Structures are given as C-alpha cells and as structure tokens.
C-alpha cells in the first residue's frame, strides 16, 4: 500500500456528496486512494460532483438517491458493491435544516428533518452493516453537530434530530465494536456553507468544509487499537 494512499482500493460511500461538506469529504477520501460511491437527490449537481471528483479518484459510482427511502438505499448499496466493491467506509453526511419556532413548524417539516437527518442514518447503516460484520472491519462516520449537545432559539427540530443522531451513534458503536467496526460522530459548529444562515458572522472565521474532511481523515487512519467515538469541532476564533 502506498503510504500516500492509505485507503488504496477501499470503498467509501458518502451521502449528500454533491456539495459542501460531503463533497469536501469525498475529495479527500479520493485523494487518499479510496474508490468513491456518492449520492444526493439532485442528479445535475451529482453529475457535476462526479466529474469534479474524477480528477482524483479512479473509481467513482454515483446515483441519485432519496436517503429517506429504504428501497432506494438498498438498491444503491447493492449497485455500489456490483460496480466498485464492498463498502468499508460509510459517511452519513446528508442533512437538512429548519430554523424557526418549533410551535410554528408543520408536521411535514418535522417529518422531513427527522427522516433526513436521523432515519436516513439508520437505513443506510442497516444496509451496510451486514457486509462490515461479515468482513469484521469498517467505519461508520455520522456528521452530527454541536446542535446535538446545545439548545438555542429556533433550533428545536434540528436539535432534536442531532441529539437523536448522537444517541443512535453511541448505541450503534456498542453494538458493532465487537466486530471490529468503529461508529463515530463528528460534531461541527457553524460551517461556511449555504446550509444555514450566518448573519452577522465573518465567514472566513467559520469552520470550512475541508476542516470536517480532515476529521474524517483522522478517523479512518487511526491505529487498530484505538477508537475515537466523537469529535467536537469549533473555529479557532469566534466568528
């Protein structure tokens, strides 16, 4: 294995990979030698991301997927393994936000946020876990948030999804560690993407998507005897 390509030949699946944090993670994993399986709901943005990633990764499989639908996820995982091989790294990155008074939100908004930010992680992990267990190795990395540890005005539904995600991550870690599988969460503060509003903040002082990718790099290259279960990330300066 090339020391400059520590993931040479390994398959990494990244959800929500057509832009922002997911695209940055896919870029870095590709540079590390991984074969990439990427998905998002927008076919046009996904195709653009695939073309962009092709400058670094030799093997890329991409398909539009609604990560809240079990049948689409199952087909995507099967097609990934047929095209580029068994998944060894899963990065559950897909997520959406809602920032407003909880009591004014619709039931549809609740379902959309919880299904995308929490249910999708359950469904994708469930689809990938049997293969990881069989091979007795692998990583599941969930992109959570400091909103999973803190409350703030207008954050009720988003916080609920991320608090739930951290609970799910911790329990899955206990379920799967006996098979040599690490399940970890990365909890960033505000990141300079178009995901959420940043009024009054200096964008250059926010966390950047590449910072989150670097945390993923650390998790997938840690020594065999260690298990980093959670990473909390904040910018050096308050924006």
More confident residue, 217 or 236: 217
Single pTM value for the model? 0.95
Residue 115 CA to residue 204 CA, distance in Å, equals 31
Tokens standing for 146? 């400091």
The reported pLDDT for the residue numbered 200 is 62
DSSP state of 180: T
Say whether pLDDT at 169 is over 90.
yes
Residue carrying the six token digits 């609920």: 160
Residue 153: what pLDDT?
A: 95
- d(C-alpha 49, C-alpha 224), whole Å: 32
pLDDT score, position 174: 98
d(CA 239, CA 230): 23
Q: What pLDDT does 115 receive?
A: 98
Give the total number of structural domains in the chain: 1
At 197 the pLDDT is 58
Does a structural domain hold residue 4?
A: no
Per-residue pLDDT of 127-168, as tens digits, reads 999 999 999 999 999 999 999 999 999 999 999 999 999 999
pLDDT in tens, 91-138: 999 999 999 999 999 999 999 999 999 999 999 999 999 999 999 999
pLDDT, tens digit, for every residue of 31-40? 999 999 999 9
Backbone angles phi, psi at 205, to 5 degrees: -90, -10
- The answer as to whether 238 is a domain residue is no
Catalytic residue chosen out of the listed positions 76, 98, 158, 163: 158
Token pair belonging to 12: 């990494």
Q: What is the pLDDT of the chain when averaged over all its residues? A: 94
Q: Report whether pLDDT(1) > 50.
A: no
The reply to whether 23 falls in a domain is yes
Q: Which two tokens stand for residue 75?
A: 């087909």
Is 70 inside any structural domain?
yes
Tell me whether residue 158 is one of the annotated catalytic residues. yes
Question: Looking at the domain assignment, is residue 1 inside a domain?
Answer: no
Tokens representing residue 29 in the block? 């994993």
Query: What whole-number distance in Å separates Cα of residue 210 and Cα of residue 91?
Result: 15
| Euclidean distance between CA atoms 10 and 115, whole angstroms | 29
Q: Average pLDDT, stretch 226-234? A: 96
Can you give the residue range of the structural domain that contains 150? 11-233
The enclosing domain of 212 has a CATH number of: 3.40.50.720
Does residue 5 fall inside a structural domain? Answer: no
**Do the bridges between strand 138-143 and strand 230-233 make them parallel or antiparallel, or are there none, so unpaired?**
unpaired
pLDDT band, residue 55 (cuts 50/70/90): confident
User: Which residues have a Cβ under 8 Å from the Cβ of 2 and sit 6 or more positions away?
Assistant: 8, 33
Radius of gyration of the chain (CA): 17
The helix (H) or strand (E) run that includes residue 159 is helix 156-176
Q: Residue 2 has what pLDDT? A: 54
Q: Which ranges of 7-140 does DSSP label H, i.e. alpha helix?
A: 20-31, 43-53, 70-83, 107-114, 120-135
Cα distance between residue 196 and residue 208, in whole Å:
13
Write down the pLDDT at residue 156.
97
What are the beta bridge partners of residue 38? Answer: 14, 62
pLDDT at site 237: 83
Q: What is the DSSP letter of 216?
A: H
The three-class DSSP label of residue 204 is helix
Q: What confidence tens digit (pLDDT) does each residue in 170-227 have?
A: 999 999 999 999 999 999 998 987 766 566 677 788 999 999 999 999 999 999 899 9
């Amino acid at each position: 294995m090339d020391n400059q390509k520590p993931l040479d030949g390994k398959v990494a699946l990244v959800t929500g990979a057509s832009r922002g944090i997911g695209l940055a993670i896919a870029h870095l994993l590709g540079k590390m030698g991984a074969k990439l399986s990427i998905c998002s709901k927008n076919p046009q943005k996904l195709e653009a991301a695939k073309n962009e990633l092709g400058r670094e990764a030799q093997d890329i499989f991409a398909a539009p997927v609604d990560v809240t639908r079990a049948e689409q996820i199952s087909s995507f995982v099967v097609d990934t393994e047929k095209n580029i091989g068994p998944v060894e790294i899963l990065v559950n990155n897909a997520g959406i936000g809602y920032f407003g008074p909880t009591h004014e939100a619709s039931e549809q908004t609740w379902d959309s946020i919880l299904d995308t930010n929490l249910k999708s992680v359950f469904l994708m992990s469930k689809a990938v876990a049997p293969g990881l267990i069989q091979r007795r190795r692998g990583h599941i990395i969930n992109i959570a948030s400091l909103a999973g540890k803190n409350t703030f005005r207008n954050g009720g539904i988003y916080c609920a999804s991320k608090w739930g995600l951290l609970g799910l991550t911790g329990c899955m870690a206990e379920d799967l560690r006996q098979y040599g599988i690490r399940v970890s969460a990365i909890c960033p503060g505000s990141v300079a993407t178009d995901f959420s509003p940043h009024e009054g903040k200096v964008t250059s002082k926010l966390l950047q998507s590449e910072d989150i990718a670097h945390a993923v790099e650390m998790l997938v290259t840690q020594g065999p005897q260690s298990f980093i279960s959670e990473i909390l990330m904040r910018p050096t300066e308050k924006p």
